[in-house]
Chains A and B, each alone.
Chain A
Amino acid sequence: MQAKERQYIIAPLYFGPFLMSEPLVTVQSVSVTLGGNAVLSDVSLTLAPGRITTLIGPNGAGKSTLARLVLGLVQPDSHNGNTSGTINRRKGLRVGYMPQHIKIDDSLPLTVDRFLWLAAPGPTASRRAALERAGVAHLRRRSVQQLSGGEMQRVLLARALLRKPDLLVLDEPAQGVDVAGQNALYGLLKTVRDELGCAILLISHDLHLVMAATDEVICLQRHVCCSGSPESVSRDPAYHELFGPGAGTPNLALYTHDHDHDHDLHGNATHSHDHSHSHHHDGPCNHD
């Protein structure tokens, strides 16, 4: 009798993760043309709760455009009224977005606190907590125009976190941050992911760090060159064609200080739990 009751309790826990992983955003074979240039062609992407996905690729590969497509800031191409491919966003999706930088006109007297209030009106304590999280609590009363580029990024991160998002999109969050700061940043993102159960989409051109802190890597060169777990992507010929031989792999262990793997005596990473991500490789990548 008791055992049977326990089963009822276990069942929802067991199915929980499966219900959670209903995708938040699905992009299916979408193309984007901006100002007459084909920026993305036939790109597909799925963002699921609790997963950190990173877009990598050289300059002009369309990373930001893909992120903006997910955010709804860029529209897919349409031919005769029919859009190329499909984008599905879960209803009522709460999005936190951290752009690379924003410019706020000097004529607007705006403190960091008020800037955060715009994203989520609520008690001061919640804004203070979000700023503390991003490590910039001391900037709360500062005017936004006085912030340095790095400080503004942190404030934008706090603003995105304040919204308790289902999906967090960060454009080059590690730009201009030293290695220690980057480790702290990726550590923070993992904590946030675990707490909120949100999906995180990152753009980066910093290969090594991203490789260590990501569930899925999408290697972009106007189309998806290859995608999958960091390990499988770093072994993919298309990846090496894009970034040169040896990119990523040797330093993978060096910068990795979170605990989804152990280090063996030679300093190589050995994975302590199973990565069941599939790995796709979609044709050759030409760089021109």
Chain B
Amino acid sequence: MIELLLPPLLAGLAVALVSGPMGAFVVWRRMAFFGDTLAHGALLGAALGLALDISLYVAVVAVCLGLAAALSALQRQRQLAGDTLLGIVAHTTLALGVIAISLQTGIQVDLFAYLFGDLLAVGWQDVIGLWVGAIVILLLMLWQWRALLSITVNEELAQVEGIAVQRTRLLLMLLLALLIAGAIRTVGVLLITSLLVIPAASARRLTHTPAQMAAVASVLGTGSVLAGLAVSWFANTPVGPSIVVAASSLFVLTLLRRSS
């Protein structure tokens, strides 16, 4: 049993650990819908990866970064609000992704696994890749912590104080794209935003500093992965959705705590 459960468990923990601080930034910068859009685009990336026979992770990161660049260019026009543009881009890329995957001949592709994750299918190679990715992302975030936080508090103050705002914003996008690429196999493109947003939102009521909030979000995220896997194992429910429901349950519990 443990041989079966260990790779999914370690893979899920790696994603949840990074989702804590990354999710905190998504919440602070109001990027939930943006993250969702990138995740939808990840499906298109996965399809391209299959079609071109290149690494899934490379293809997903490339498509996510392309989307981020296209979105920031689109947002320069002022007639349509940001969330309208995100709605257009998110669903267009999702539709394109589904079409692209359905056009794959030869290999049988399980669309459901990409949409909702297939944590139980990850192997040791994925686990190693996910942990290397997780450690790289966490180290980069730690190294650039003050810059990342400064542009989140106020971009103009940060710029005046000599922080490279554009570069820092780009770094955050890149790290988010990397995380989404890693998460696509664990919770799937439709549920990754929840793993970013829900633990961070739960942590808000429990903490008093940004670093605390990021760390507590990591703890709550890993707790959700453990609980979700356990439920999935014993009740035979799909893993990805079980993790999300576990995270939401924790969020509801934090609501019971009186706000300080």
**What are the residues of chain B within 8 A of A97 when measuring CB–CB?**
156-157, 160-161
**What are the residues of chain A within 8 A of B207 when measuring CB–CB?**
109
Whether A108 touches B28, Cβ cut-off 8 Å, given contacts A115-B153, A118-B149, is yes
A272 at the interface (CB under 8 A from B): no
User: Which residues A83-140 have CB closer than 8 A to chain B?
Assistant: 95, 97, 99, 102, 104-105, 107-111, 114-115, 118-119, 121
**What are the residues of chain B within 8 A of A163 when measuring CB–CB?**
161
Q: Mark A242-277, 1 if CB is under 8 A from B, else 0.
A: 000000000000000000000000000000000000
Decide if A110 touches B30 in the complex (CB within 8 Å).
no
Beta-carbon nearest neighbor of A95 in chain B = B160
Q: How far is the CA of A95 from the CA of B209 in the complex (A)?
A: 26
User: Which residues A39-81 have CB closer than 8 A to chain B?
Assistant: 71-73
**What are the residues of chain B within 8 A of A159 when measuring CB–CB?**
157
Q: How far is the CA of A157 from the CA of B194 in the complex (A)?
A: 39
Q: How far is the CA of A99 from the CA of B156 in the complex (A)?
A: 9
Decide if A119 touches B161 in the complex (CB within 8 Å).
yes
Distance from A122 Cβ to chain B, minimum over Cβ atoms (Å): 12
Beta-carbon nearest neighbor of B78 in chain A = A35
Whether A99 touches B157, Cβ cut-off 8 Å, given contacts A109-B210, A111-B208, A114-B210, is yes
Decide if B160 touches A73 in the complex (CB within 8 Å).
yes
Q: Which residue of B146, B154, B213 contacts A109 across the interface (Cβ within 8 Å)?
A: B213
Q: Which residue of B29, B153, B156 contacts A73 across the interface (Cβ within 8 Å)?
A: B156
Count of residues in A whose CB is under 8 Å from the partner chain: 23
Decide if B208 touches A109 in the complex (CB within 8 Å).
yes
Beta-carbon nearest neighbor of B200 in chain A = A107
Distance from B130 Cβ to chain A, minimum over Cβ atoms (Å): 27
Decide if B161 touches A108 in the complex (CB within 8 Å).
no
**What are the residues of chain A within 8 A of B168 when measuring CB–CB?**
none
Distance from A117 Cβ to chain B, minimum over Cβ atoms (Å): 8
**What are the residues of chain A within 8 A of B204 when measuring CB–CB?**
107, 109
Q: How far is the CA of A220 from the CA of B208 in the complex (A)?
A: 44
Q: Mark B134-168, 1 if CB is under 8 A from A, else 0.
A: 00000000000010011011101101111000000
Q: How far is the CA of A234 from the CA of B149 in the complex (A)?
A: 45
Beta-carbon nearest neighbor of A169 in chain B = B160
**What are the residues of chain A within 8 A of B161 when measuring CB–CB?**
95, 97, 119, 163
B27 at the interface (CB under 8 A from A): yes
Distance from B65 Cβ to chain A, minimum over Cβ atoms (Å): 25
Beta-carbon nearest neighbor of A121 in chain B = B146
Q: Mark A199-240, 1 if CB is under 8 A from B, else 0.
A: 000000000000000000000000000000000000000000
Decide if B209 touches A105 in the complex (CB within 8 Å).
no
Whether A107 touches B27, Cβ cut-off 8 Å, given contacts A118-B146, A118-B150, A121-B146, is yes
Decide if A73 touches B159 in the complex (CB within 8 Å).
yes
B212 at the interface (CB under 8 A from A): yes
Taking each of A73, A99, A104, A110, which has the highest tally of chain B beta carbons within 10 Å of its own beta carbon?
A110
**What are the residues of chain A within 8 A of B149 when measuring CB–CB?**
118
Whether A108 touches B153, Cβ cut-off 8 Å, given contacts A114-B209, A118-B146, A121-B146, is yes
Beta-carbon nearest neighbor of A106 in chain B = B204
**What are the residues of chain A within 8 A of B209 when measuring CB–CB?**
109-111, 114
**What are the residues of chain A within 8 A of B27 when measuring CB–CB?**
107
Q: How far is the CA of A99 from the CA of B146 in the complex (A)?
A: 20
Distance from A78 Cβ to chain B, minimum over Cβ atoms (Å): 17
Decide if B210 touches A72 in the complex (CB within 8 Å).
no
User: Which residues A136-163 have CB closer than 8 A to chain B?
Assistant: 143, 159, 163
Distance from A155 Cβ to chain B, minimum over Cβ atoms (Å): 12
**What are the residues of chain B within 8 A of A72 when measuring CB–CB?**
159-160
Additional A-B contacts beyond A95-B160, A104-B153, A118-B153 (7; CB < 8 A): A73-B160, A95-B162, A99-B156, A99-B157, A104-B154, A111-B208, A121-B146
22 contacts between A and B (CB under 8 A): A71-B156, A71-B160, A73-B156, A73-B160, A95-B162, A97-B160, A97-B161, A99-B154, A99-B157, A102-B154, A104-B153, A105-B28, A107-B28, A108-B152, A108-B210, A109-B209, A114-B210, A115-B153, A118-B149, A118-B150, A159-B157, A169-B160
By a beta-carbon cutoff of 8 Å, the part of chain B in contact with chain A is: 27-30, 146, 149-150, 152-154, 156-157, 159-162, 201, 204, 207-210, 212-213
